[in-house]
Amino acid sequence: MDLVLDLDGVGKDFSAGPFFARRRTAAVTEVSLRVHAGRTVGLVGESGSGKSTLGRMAVGLLTPDRGRVTVHGQPLSSLTPKKMRPFRRTMQMVFQDSSNSLNPRMTLEDLLVEPFRAQDLHTRAERRHRAAALADEVGLARSGLARLPHEFSGGQRQRISIARALALEPDLLVADEPVSALDVSVQAQILNLFKDIQQARGFAMLFVSHDMAVVEFISDQVAVMRAGSLVEFGSRDEIFDSPREPYTRTLLDAAPSL
């Protein structure tokens, strides 16, 4: 299978504490992890375990202090800022609060055209054509293309964010708690959408969530993080049916009934 994301011993330190006693602490100590095309790795662990930091390093939004991030054979550290710009298209991220960053004055069509404009791709007519196709793909009615973000529900706004992430045909999608802010019934719809678009497009996905039920539904493999380290990695069934680590068992026991 096609290897898309290869994290090799990556780590990241942050400065913490008051100015007179500042110290560097590791948010991520040293993590190695691979994600293949068409596959989803769920990333779980308690708050502060380093999941978001790892996700940001995977798409090049944060530079690791240790180790190497390779996407489709290309080590990100070897890319100059100029080369990074077109390469960034291949790695996209969807956040819990992505929809808050939608420009409130832009229509749905403008929002879906923007990724093409930013990369200077396609003619104006072609951009509009692609915007409409993206709306279809994520289940937004074309009749809504002239509407503004506040006219959509939270779930629909997350669909808009997903469509924008898909616009440039990424090989890797990092989703950081993308359904955590949504009602449970809407969560299921958005999770199904992630599955459908992955099946259709074949991108690799790293899916960060604190919710074990969500992770069980979406993942092929599961990575468990604790205090910046990877403590367990396995297939979904291994992790959920016969976890080796007591910490993984604690997470499962703490989860509401699956």
Ligand X SMILES: Nc1ncnc2c1ncn2[C@@H]1O[C@H](COP(=O)(O)OP(=O)(O)OP(=O)(O)O)[C@@H](O)[C@H]1O
Considering only residues 27, 41, 76, 138, which one is a binding residue for ligand X as defined by CB under 6 A?
Answer: 27
Piece of the chain touching ligand X by CB under 6 A; list 46-54, 144-152, 189-197, 248-256: 46-54
- Give 47 or 257: the residue with its C-beta nearer to ligand X: 47
- Give 62 or 165: the residue with its C-beta nearer to ligand X: 62
Q: Are 214 and 258 in contact (CB under 8 A)?
A: no
Q: How far apart (Å, rounded) are the C-alpha atoms in residues 227 and 124? A: 48
Residue 11 binds ligand X, judged by CB under 6 A: no
Residue 161 binds ligand X, judged by CB under 6 A: no
Cβ contacts of 82 within 8 Å, gap of 6 or more = none
N- to C-terminal Cα separation, the chain: 30
Considering only residues 10, 40, 51, 219, which one is a binding residue for ligand X as defined by CB under 6 A?
Answer: 51
Residue 210 binds ligand X, judged by CB under 6 A: yes
Q: How far apart (Å, rounded) are the C-alpha atoms in residues 14 and 28? A: 9
Residue ranges with strand state E in 103-257: 172-176, 204-208, 221-226, 229-235
Considering only residues 5, 7, 41, 45, which one is a binding residue for ligand X as defined by CB under 6 A?
Answer: 45
- Give 50 or 64: the residue with its C-beta nearer to ligand X: 50
Q: Whole-number minimum distance, CB 125 to ligand X, in Å?
A: 41
List the structure tokens of 229.
């380290």
- Give 15 or 257: the residue with its C-beta nearer to ligand X: 15
- Give 79 or 227: the residue with its C-beta nearer to ligand X: 227
Sort 184 into a burial class: Cβ within 10 Å, 0-12 / 13-18 / 19+. Answer: exposed
Backbone angles phi, psi at 56, to 5 degrees: -70, -35
Residue 187 binds ligand X, judged by CB under 6 A: no
Q: Would you tell me which residues interact with ligand X (CB under 6 A)?
A: 14, 16, 27, 45, 47-53, 210
